Amino acid sequence: MTIDLSAYEAGDKFQGDYADALAAVQKRLARIQVAHIVHKRRAVVMLEGWDAAGKGGIIQRLTAEWDPRYFEVWPIGAPTANEKDRHFLWRFWQRLPANGDIVVFDRSWYGRVLVERVEGFATEAEWKRGYDEINEFEARQIESGTTLVKLFVHITQDEQDRRFLHRFEDPWKRWKTGAEDYRNRARRTDYLAAMADMFAETDTRWAPWRVIDGNNKKAARIAALTAIADYLEKHVPMAPPAADPELIRLATENLRLSGER
């Protein structure tokens, strides 16, 4: 089924108590992280979307209750000179999770078929070949036991403009937006075409896309965190493993000794 971004532009407000809903889904996510740790499972959560769509705010709340020893957030920007000398997927292979870890990508390998395509950083042959290379890359991760969640956060042009203006007017947020954001804004039609092709080519059975209506930040955060929690829960055992018999013996002995004092 074709993904139509215009279907994700309602911007409806969150219905309910936002603070309670956020706390509840973060509690779920904390338990999900522990399940990955104790069962030695690994997962990748990847977010794409427009500039100022709210990806950072989603990631901040996604990881708020996680143990920092077992997750990593990778903000993806332009490749370095060293990375340009290698296949475009090389730098992402270096950042994949170990057993027990969850890795979050703020932007991703989809740069090859989005910004690199639109801005001419990749040749037509390179970005067209990129679809199959990305699908194969994702299939390999899943076949090896990695859970992959792919989210795209969508906002309208009007909403993006409002957020750019808000950032510009706040000197403590101005650093978030640079000249390239405005250059990208001017090419929205080209990016929409690239996104349509991206969804058509990479919304696969094994790695489906989930689009989040980002036009209301609170509603988007709850929707995104809930989608992530739902998908991760389906792919990791949520029952804790049995306690180590030796640990049980030591704990029992300690409790007995404590009771004698």
Per-residue pLDDT band at 143 (split at 50, 70, 90): very high
- Between 8-22, 38-52, 101-115, 235-249, the lowest mean confidence (pLDDT) is in 235-249
Pairwise pLDDT comparison (254 vs 228), residue with the higher score = 228
**Strand-by-strand arrangement of the 71-75 sheet:** 71-75, 102-106, 42-49, 146-154, 209-213
Pairwise pLDDT comparison (180 vs 206), residue with the higher score = 206
As a whole number, mean pLDDT of residues 72-89 equals 97
- Between 132-136, 145-149, 247-251, the lowest mean confidence (pLDDT) is in 247-251
Taking the C-alpha atoms of residue 127 and residue 101, their distance in angstroms, rounded to an integer, is 30
What pLDDT, on the 0 to 100 scale, is given for residue 247? 86
Whole-angstrom CA distances from 173 to 52, 73, 153, 163 are 11, 20, 20, 10
Q: For 159-201, how does the pLDDT look when each residue is reduced to its tens digit (9 = 90+)? A: 999 999 999 888 888 888 888 788 888 899 999 999 999 999 9
What's 110's DSSP letter? Answer: G
Q: For 93-133, how does the pLDDT look when each residue is reduced to its tens digit (9 = 90+)? A: 999 999 999 999 999 999 999 999 999 999 999 999 999 99
What pLDDT, on the 0 to 100 scale, is given for residue 178? 81
**47, 151 Cβ separation under 8 angstroms:** yes
**51, 82 Cβ separation under 8 angstroms:** no
What pLDDT, on the 0 to 100 scale, is given for residue 261? 61
Q: How large a percentage of the chain has pLDDT more than 90?
A: 83
Task: Find all residues with CB under 8 Å of 33, minimum gap 6, and list them.
Answer: 66, 67, 70, 71, 102
Q: What pTM did the predictor assign?
A: 0.93
Structure tokens of 231?
Answer: 């998908």
Tell me: pLDDT of 253 over 90: no
**228, 45 Cβ separation under 8 angstroms:** yes
